[in-house]
């Protein structure tokens, strides 16, 4: 019996993949992609005072390993919009007459705005940004300006954590959990749909019906849309009542984005079911799909803390874009214009998965 099971397992590609590919995947992801101390975070500078001190601050921040200066803007409010859309993680606002007040020894205030929707991505960098600014300014207060270098820091750096000022972890993780719960449930529900028909002996009855492949797929998916809608309602109720997660965006936009994400995962699961020979293989394929979605999407670890290759890999995962959508809608009050790009990517993923699933199903019944 032992030898029989060993031979059977060795001939099963799913078991072999679980034996070798799973530990290799975990080692690569945890060893190279996961980083709890994000570096090279995108930063914008709103320069209302074009002086040598402003240029020194921009240079000092760019030279640190924590920040990457993406934009220098001069229009008031433009930097805040970049933070709201998620294009930058930090905004440093240099006020008007900053150089004059600094030379006079008036300790001008310098505002640092951080996107705190994910507190783990901003915590270490906030401590570094103040030190970099103080050192940059102190290096310029030399010669005749040396007398203006006080014992106290020359600049009063004020940090403002937007969208999650208290740094409450649940405000970030609970919206992300919605993506994880829906992804796991929806993929598993449909991943075994076709294989269940084959193993149950009902596939012949299904093939005898006049239904086209796309109609069979719709029939498999629509009931699960209801399941996803119920799960979404439960999660949002708990988020509002138990965890006190703010909801400042549009409910209609949230519903539309969630239904799109559910449909994507149902289509992916249906695609898996057309490739798997049995329900065990369908479950194995689903597990291989779910792991990178959980680890690389920005739910478990900061997205911008990962290396570039891991970020590119994460952009191919639906959960990455949905987490960005749900956090933006709930915490930042995103409008349709803000949500257009990630929603368009999810729609393209839905069309691609549907095309592959229908073609594979046609090959199966042929």
CATH of the domain at 107: 3.40.1710.10
C-alpha closest to that of 262 among 215, 218, 227, 299: 227
Quote the CA–CA distance of 211 and 216 in Å, as a whole number. Answer: 6
Domain match, 149 and 257 both:
no
Q: Would you state the pLDDT for residue 65?
A: 83
Q: Would you state the pLDDT for residue 199?
A: 75
Domain match, 153 and 178 both:
no
With respect to residue 283, please indicate whether it lies within any of the assigned structural domains: yes
- Those residues with Cβ within 8 angstroms of residue 353's Cβ, 6 or more apart along the chain or in another chain: 264, 267, 268, 270, 271
With respect to residue 245, please indicate whether it lies within any of the assigned structural domains: yes
Quote the CA–CA distance of 269 and 353 in Å, as a whole number. Answer: 9
Q: Which domain holds residue 223?
A: 169-365
Q: Which residue, of 140, 162, 184, is where some domain finishes?
A: 162
Residue 95 half-sphere exposure, CB side, CA atoms within 13 Å?
15
The three-state (H, E, C) secondary structure of 312-365, written as one string: HHHCCCHHHHHHHHHHHHHHHCCCHHHHHHHHHHHHHHHHHHHHHHHHHHHHHH
Q: Would you state the pLDDT for residue 26?
A: 74
**Entry pTM:** 0.84
Domain match, 196 and 341 both:
yes
Q: Which residue, of 162, 193, 215, is where some domain finishes?
A: 162
Domain match, 117 and 230 both:
no
With respect to residue 69, please indicate whether it lies within any of the assigned structural domains: yes
Neighbour-count burial of 267, counting CB atoms closer than 10 A to its CB (0-12 exposed, 13-18 middle, 19+ buried): buried
Domain match, 269 and 145 both:
no
With respect to residue 9, please indicate whether it lies within any of the assigned structural domains: no
Q: For each of the chain's 366 residues, which pLDDT tens digit applies?
A: 778 777 877 777 767 766 777 777 777 777 777 777 788 899 999 999 888 888 888 888 888 888 899 999 988 889 999 999 999 999 999 999 988 888 887 888 889 999 988 887 787 788 788 778 877 777 766 655 555 555 567 788 888 889 988 888 889 899 999 999 999 999 988 888 777 777 777 766 766 777 777 777 788 788 888 999 999 999 999 999 999 999 999 999 999 999 999 999 999 998 898 888 788 888 888 988 998 999 899 888 888 888 888 899 999 999 999 999 999 999 999 999 999 999 999 999 999 998 988 888 765 555
Quote the CA–CA distance of 343 and 322 in Å, as a whole number. Answer: 8
Q: Would you state the pLDDT for residue 352?
A: 94
Domain match, 207 and 352 both:
yes
With respect to residue 232, please indicate whether it lies within any of the assigned structural domains: yes
Total domains in the fold of the chain: 2
Domain match, 242 and 144 both:
no
Domain match, 252 and 277 both:
yes
Q: Which residue, of 145, 162, 179, is where some domain finishes?
A: 162
Q: Would you state the pLDDT for residue 105?
A: 79
């Amino acid at each position: 019996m032992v030898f029989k099971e060993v031979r059977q397992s060795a001939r099963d590609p799913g078991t072999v993949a679980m034996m070798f590919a799973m530990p290799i995947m975990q080692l690569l992801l945890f060893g190279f992609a996961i980083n709890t101390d994000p570096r090279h975070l995108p930063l914008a500078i709103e320069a209302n005072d074009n002086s040598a001190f402003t240029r020194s601050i921009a240079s000092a921040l760019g030279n640190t390993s924590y920040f990457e200066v993406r934009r220098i803007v001069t229009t008031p409010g433009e930097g805040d919009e970049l933070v709201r859309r998620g294009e930058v993680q930090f905004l440093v606002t240099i006020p008007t007459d900053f150089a004059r007040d600094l030379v006079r020894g008036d300790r001008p205030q310098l505002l640092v705005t951080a996107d705190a929707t994910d507190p783990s991505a901003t915590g270490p960098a906030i401590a570094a940004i103040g030190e970099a600014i103080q050192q940059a300014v102190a290096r310029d207060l030399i010669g005749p300006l040396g007398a203006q270098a006080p014992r106290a820091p020359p600049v009063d750096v004020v940090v403002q954590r937007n969208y999650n000022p208290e740094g409450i972890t649940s405000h970030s993780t609970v919206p992300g959990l919605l993506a994880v719960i829906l992804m796991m449930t929806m993929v598993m529900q449909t991943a075994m749909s076709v294989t269940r028909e084959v193993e149950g002996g009902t596939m012949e009855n299904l093939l005898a019906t006049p239904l086209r492949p796309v109609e069979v797929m719709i029939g498999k998916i629509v009931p699960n849309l209801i399941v996803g809608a119920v799960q979404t309602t439960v999660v949002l109720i708990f988020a509002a009542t138990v965890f006190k997660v703010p909801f400042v965006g549009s409910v209609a936009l949230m519903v539309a984005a969630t239904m799109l994400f559910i449909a994507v995962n149902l289509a992916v699961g249906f695609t898996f079911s057309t490739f798997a020979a049995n329900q065990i293989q369908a479950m194995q394929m689903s597990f291989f799909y779910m792991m990178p979605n959980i680890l690389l999407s920005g739910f478990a670890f900061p997205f911008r803390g990962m290396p570039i290759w891991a970020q590119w890999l994460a952009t191919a995962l639906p959960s990455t874009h949905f987490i960005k959508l749900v956090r933006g809608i709930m915490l930042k009050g995103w409008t349709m214009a803000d949500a257009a790009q990630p929603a368009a990517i999810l729609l393209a993923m839905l069309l691609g998965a549907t095309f592959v699933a229908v073609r594979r199903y046609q090959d199966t019944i042929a």
